[in-house]
Amino acid sequence: MNDTVPPQFRGEPLRTLIDFASTGAAGSIRLRGAFGAPRQVLAAQTLDAVRPVLDAAQALAQQGHWCVGYVRYEAAPAFDASLSVHAANAADASEGPLAWFGVYHEMLPWPEPAPEAEVRVDWQAGIAQAEFERSLTEIHRAIADGEVYQVNYTAPLQGRVQGSAHDLFLALLRAQPGGFAACIDTGEEHVLSVSPELFFDWRDDRMLTRPMKGTAPRGATPEQDQALAAALAASAKERAENVMIVDLIRNDLSRVARPFSVRVPRLFQLQSLPSVWQMTSDVEALTREGTTLADVFAALFPCGSVTGAPKVSAMRLIRALEPAPRGVYCGAVGVLQPGGAATFNVPIRTVTLRGHAARCGIGSGITSGATAADEWQEWRHKRAFLDRASQPFELLETLALADGVLRHADAHRARMRQAAAHFGYAWDERHIDDTLNQLVRQHPAGLWRVRLLLTAQGQATAQAFAMPAAPARVRLQLAPSAFEAADSEFVRFKTTRRAHYDALAPTAPGVFDTLLWNRHGEITECTRGNIAVLQGGRWLTPALHCGLLAGVGRDHWLREGRLSEAVLRLDDLRRAEGLAFINSLRGWIDAELETSP
C-alpha cells in the first residue's frame, strides 16, 4: 500500500488525527495531521507487556516511523508495584489494552473541512453531590492525619452518542482548542482527547514537563475576567496546590535527570481556556545518557497533577474512593515522531467511546483548604467543554422590527459578534447585514419579532413573526430554587441552547416570566429578559457577575442613566418600591411579583 496517497482518496477512512500545539521547547513545532489504518499495532494486555510496548514504539520511531497511542492510568503498576489502581474489568467501559500504539510510515495532511454532521451526547453524572461531599470529608481526614497533602479526586460522566466519533472529536476540538488533541481509533474504541495539559516533551536529551494545577472560571465581562485571573494568580491556596505538584514532579524527574539539571524556569503561569483559567508551571531537565521512553514513564507516570502528593499515598486513597478504573483518562496520550522525539499529554478533557457508549472523567485537586461547594462548582466549569460539544447550537439575537426599522440593530450585531468570537464561530459582517436588510425589505410595515441565527460556519438566517404590542404591566413568579446554570457561558451569551431557561418557564395562567436567582441568593434575570428594581428612588439592575445576559435593552438604559448596576438579593425584593421587566424586544414593562421569597 502506498502511504503517500491520503486514505480519503483510496476509500479508506482517516482513523487517527493529531493536533498538538508547539510546547515552546527548542525544535518543537505544531503537529497537525492524519493517519489511516496503522501498518502495525503495539498493544499491552498485561502489566508485564507495558514496558516492552514502549521500548518497541521508541525503537520504531528511531527507525523513522510515527507512533501514536496511549497508556492507561491502570498501567501504573507496570512501572512501580506500589502504585495502587483498580484492576481492569472487561465489563467496564474503560476495558482495553493497558498501552496501545499505532505505527505509521507517514503523517498525512489534516483533512479538508467537510459539511458538519450533527452529533449529540446525553451525559449523566457518575456521582451524586452527597457522595462527592462524603469523599471530600474522607480526603480531608487523610490530610489532617498526615497521610497526604493533596489528592486529585475524579468521577466519570457516562453518555450515549448520536453521531460519529470523528464528528464528536471535531466538536470537542472547537470547544477546547489550542492544546494537545488526538482522535485515536484502535478498532475497538475511540480516544478523543482535547487536553490542554502537557505531560512531557522529550527531544534529544531535553525534557520539559508542564503540570496544570489551579483553576478559576472565566468572567462575564473583560473586567471581571481579568479580576478572576488576577485572583487565581494571587491565590495562596491555588499556588500552594500548584507548587506541591511542581515539587513532586521535580522529584520524579530527578530519577532520569543529569545531576543538578532539574530547574523550574516558569512558575504560576496563567493559561486562558474557553471556560476556565488554569495555572501551569514548567519543570525542565536534561536526561541521562541511555534513558529510554520506558524509563521516563517509570519516573513520571502517572503525572502528579492527576494523582496528588505523595503519589503512592494519594493513589492508594484514589483507589479506595473512586469506584472504577479511570482508563485512558489521567493516563497519557502521545506521539513519537520519526527520530524519536516524544510528546505526551495528560488526558484530561478526554472522552472514550466504545460503540455508542461514551465516558469522560472530571476531577480536581483537593487540599486542606478545599470546600465541597467550591470544588463542585469547579467540576461544573471544567465540564463546560462537553456541554459545548455535546449538542449543536446556534447564536441567537431577537430584535424588534417596527415599521421597517430594526431597534438597536447595531447593539444586537455587536453582541452576536462578541459571542461568535467567544465560541469560535465564523463571522462575516456583510453577510449578517445582507440577511437583515433582506428581511427588512420584506416587512416594511407593522411590528415584528425578528429571530437572527448564526451557525458555527457563519451561515446566518433571519425570520420575522408578527408581534402584538407589549402589555402595560406583567406578573412575574420567583424561581423555586437557585438557578444552577447562572455561571454558564450559555447564560452570558445568547444561543439556541436554552433548556436551562425553558425548564423554569412559567406554566400558571397570567404569569409572564420567572425571576431567577443564584446560589448566593442574588437576583440575576428573567428567562426572557432582564429585571429592574426600584430602591430608594433609583432603578437598579443586577450586576453581570451575578450570572446573567448583558441584555441590549439593559445596556441602553444603563448608558442613558435610567439604570444603575448593583448586587440585589432576595431580601431586596421585599423592600422594592417597583419592578420592571426589560429587554430590547418589548421595552420597559412595569411588573409585579406574584409571590414573595
Work out the end-to-end distance of the chain between its first and last CA atoms, rounded to an integer number of angstroms.
72
Of all helices (H) and strands (E), which one includes residue 465? strand 460-466
* CA distances (Å), origin 350, targets 192, 213, 411: 6, 17, 37
Is 238 among the residues known to form the active site? no
Task: Please spell the DSSP secondary structure of 317-359, one letter per residue.
Answer: HHHHH--S--TTTTSEEEEE-TTS-EEEE---SEEEEETTEEE
> Quick one: 232 exposed, middle or buried, by C-beta within 10 A (0-12, 13-18, 19+)?
buried
Rg (CA), the chain: 26
Is residue 488 a contact partner of residue 480, using CB atoms and an 8 Å limit?
no
Is residue 192 a contact partner of residue 353, using CB atoms and an 8 Å limit?
yes
Give the three cell numbers for residue 37.
Answer: 489504518
Task: Please spell the DSSP secondary structure of 54-119, one letter per residue.
Answer: HHHHHHHHHTT-EEEEEE-GGGGGGT-TTS--PPP-TTSTT-S-SEEEEEES-PBPPPPP-PPPP-
> Quick one: 435 exposed, middle or buried, by C-beta within 10 A (0-12, 13-18, 19+)?
middle
Select from 577, 30, 109, 43 the least CA-distant residue to 337. Answer: 30
- Residue 165 makes CB contacts below 8 A (sequence gap 6+) with 183, 185, 190, 192, 353
Give the three cell numbers for residue 187.
Answer: 478498532
- Which amino acid would we find at residue 341? A
Q: How far, in Å, CA of 382 to CA of 502, rounded?
A: 24
Q: How far, in Å, CA of 204 to CA of 256, rounded?
A: 13
User: How does strand 332-336 pair with strand 66-71?
Assistant: antiparallel
Select from 73, 143, 71 the least CA-distant residue to 101. Answer: 71
From the list 189, 213, 311, 397, the catalytic residue is 213
Give the three cell numbers for residue 414.
Answer: 455587536
User: How does strand 342-345 pair with strand 332-336?
Assistant: antiparallel
Q: What are phi and psi of 481, to 5 degrees?
A: -150, 170
Q: ∠ CA(591), CA(501), CA(226), 5° rounding?
A: 95
From the list 189, 197, 397, 525, the catalytic residue is 197
Is 565 among the residues known to form the active site? no
260: left (phi over 0), alpha (psi -120 to 50) or beta: left
Select from 288, 286, 249, 287 the least CA-distant residue to 267. Answer: 249
Q: How far, in Å, CA of 284 to CA of 40, rounded?
A: 33
Is residue 526 a contact partner of residue 581, using CB atoms and an 8 Å limit?
yes
The three-class DSSP label of residue 213 is strand
Is residue 75 a contact partner of residue 50, using CB atoms and an 8 Å limit?
yes
Query: Which active-site residues does the annotation give?
Result: 197, 213
